[in-house]
Structure 1
Amino acid sequence: MDSRDTSGSSISTDASDTPAAFDSLDPRRRTLLKAAAASAAALAAGAPWSAQRALAQTPSKGKTLRIGFQKYGNFVVLKARGTLEKRLAAQGVSVQWLEFPAGPQLLEGLNAGAVDVGSVGETPPIFAQAGGVEFAYIGHEPQAPKGEAIVVPHDSPIRSVKDLRGKKVALNRGSNVHFLLVKALQNAGLSYSDIQPAFLTPADARAAFVQNSVDAWVIWDPYLAAVERQANARVIGNGEGLVRNTQYYVAARKFADTQPQLLRELLAELDQVDRWSRDNIPAVASQLAPLVGLDAATLEVALQRTSYGVQPVDAATLDYQQQIADTFTSLKLIPKKLVVADAKWRAA
């Protein structure tokens, strides 16, 4: 795992509990990850998702479970504790961990065939489905609306979301905070066209924020907790009453169809780790601090806003995702109406 500060945005190719250099991977794996990273960069620039569709990959046969994760979240705790490896060892299944800077890039990795399963926010799957990525929702965490927010510098004249008219707002395109921004603007009587979106990865957005190159930043934990504590950023609105900020577990469609029992084992182990984490936040913060490059006190702030306990994806959950899809369709940020239920896990 890349243990640099959480502002770093590189894709780690860690395949074990110790860092693995990119150059040490076999040529095919390097090609896959380079393709995923290149496509993620294209997405940030507004290029179509179809660039990845040309890559034909052989699906995993279950001997190795390849998990895409982000620098923070329940998968990081699971990885650190090593309990999934122990659980699956008896079945002859190994685990490979691959880190991505955000949900859209992780889903590009899944689309490229480099990832079997991953964890993303509520909006990236919408953009992925619109781009033709074949995946299934296999589970989710309870909502955590306080875990994402719109922040401004502490001395900014901006006092509320209403003051964002005409302002430059940084966000990761297609991430969960994209929907938060849209809903917050609507709630304040503004439209999406009233602001200037600056599509930046968390690393670039933080740099722009502290250098006053943008007026506001829409971001999630632990980046949110870090910029609050380290840069004295001021929150002008979070997800409460606006969005759920749900974390989803998604799997490549072919993998979900052919390896349902393996995915159930994964979800069961995640749920156990979740419940332990909920009751041991200081211990989790101390364990994660050296892994994510943040101090334990900052992580405790973020963990207190996190939700715990894996839940099934039911009809109500898919209806909520459909609302997000319809919102982005109306804004012409995705090209056509989606049927979110098409991404339901058939084995659920």
Structure 2
Amino acid sequence: MNSSITQKFLAYVILFLLTVMSVKTALAADAYRPDVLRVGFQKYGTLVVLKARGDLERKLANNNVKVEWFEFPTGPRLLEALNIGAIDFGVTGDGPPIFSQAAGAKFFYVGYEPPSPKGIALVVKEESSIKSVKDLVGKKIAVSKGGNVHVLLLRALQVNGLKPTDIVPIYLAPAEGRAAFESGAVDGWVAFDPYLANVQHSSRTRVIQDGQGLSPNYQFYFASEALTTKRPDVVNLVLSEIKTVDEYASKNFSSVAKQLAPLIGMDESVVITALQRMGYGISPVTSEITQSQQKIADMFYEVGLIPKPVRVEAVIWKPN
């Protein structure tokens, strides 16, 4: 195996193990319990709306199931928690499951939302000399490793004839990425909503490249092996509630923003922008979407981010 690939993946595995230990400590992960549904979410997506409305709690109470919510700063950390049994259900973008699957994590894709390519973008400060992706050579770019934004960055480099080694990636979680961007410690930042919308509303920035034509930025839902095996009825109920919330949120940006703004600590105007750029309409994962994910997996392998090929189809939930 190429030594550089081994080193990169080893770094990810170390991060994986450290996060596993921290998650175990923070969440006190127990064995799966059929009377509790532990849901992992981030500061974006339909699950945040579902949490704010409280509909899932009311529906699952009829099935004698209690809902517990856990917030994660990034998708990889959420999936690591799912893998070790600290949560049962969660949502991430398109990049994290590839890394997690390559690291041996166990989970199933159970649904996805339509694309939201404008919800991710590489931004620079208004006064930056960077005018296009080709100007990134030698520049420091903040990005969440293995996230949906990492997918965008790699594809943007690829279509512009650049290699990952042509830039200096600075791997940071969203909050740290924003701080590095504002301080000038990095030359650009690849961000996702609502962090992207927030920096666009509060700072003078320019978009160098968003996901249009490069990265669809699907939102995926995942469930643990235990949940899909022992309570497929709960999985289906959650997916049904997400569908209902999708329908409501897509037509009521202002009212949803009023609910979400205090929960995620951002202005209503920021949340409305993020909501307007989201995709709505949950569906089962199709062969076309599976192939889209497989292309990301193949790209990650080709550039040395994962040490072996992964077969995405192997972790697509196919209920009886």
Q: TM-score, normalised by structure 2?
A: 0.92
Which residue does 1:117 correspond to in 2? Answer: 89
Which residue does 2:4 correspond to in 1? Answer: none
Is 1:246 the counterpart of 2:218? The answer is yes
Cα 1:193–1:149 shift into 2, 3 Å: same
Cα 1:316–1:80 shift into 2, 3 Å: same
Cα 1:53–1:204 shift into 2, 3 Å: closer
Q: Note the C-alpha offset of 1:44.
A: 11
* 1:167 pairs with one of 139, 146, 161: 139
Runs of 4+ in 1 over 4 A off after TM superposition: 50-58
Which residue does 1:303 correspond to in 2? Answer: 275
* 1:279 pairs with one of 224, 245, 251: 251
Q: How many residues align?
A: 307
Is 1:189 the counterpart of 2:161? The answer is yes
Q: Which amino acid aligns with 1:296?
A: E
**RMSD over aligned Cα atoms:** 2.0
Q: Which amino acid aligns with 1:73?
A: G
Cα 1:44–1:301 shift into 2, 3 Å: farther
Q: Note the C-alpha offset of 1:346.
A: 3.2
Q: Note the C-alpha offset of 1:240.
A: 0.2
Q: Note the C-alpha offset of 1:47.
A: 4.1
Which residue does 1:28 correspond to in 2? Answer: none
* 1:225 pairs with one of 197, 200, 209: 197
Which stretch shifts more, 75-84 or 254-263?
254-263
Secondary structure at 1:250 match in 2: strand
1:139, 1:312 within 8 Å by CA — same for their partners in 2? yes
Which stretch shifts more, 144-153 or 108-117?
108-117
* 2:296 pairs with one of 318, 324, 339: 324
CA distance in 2, matches of 1:141, 1:107: 18
Which residue does 1:346 correspond to in 2? Answer: 318
Which residue does 1:155 correspond to in 2? Answer: 127
Over residues 85-106 of structure 1, what are the superposed CA-to-partner deviations in whole Å (9 max), with x where a residue is unaligned? 1111111011000000010111
Which residue does 2:284 correspond to in 1? Answer: 312
2:143, 2:169 within 8 Å by CA — same for their partners in 1? yes
* 2:115 pairs with one of 117, 135, 143: 143
Which residue does 2:234 correspond to in 1? Answer: 262
Identity of aligned residues (%): 47
Q: Which amino acid aligns with 1:331?
A: V
* 1:131 pairs with one of 95, 98, 103: 103
Q: Which amino acid aligns with 2:269?
A: A
Q: TM-score, normalised by structure 1?
A: 0.85
1:44, 1:200 within 8 Å by CA — same for their partners in 2? no
Secondary structure at 2:170 match in 1: strand
Which residue does 1:216 correspond to in 2? Answer: 188
CA distance in 2, matches of 1:107, 1:329: 19
Secondary structure at 2:59 match in 1: helix
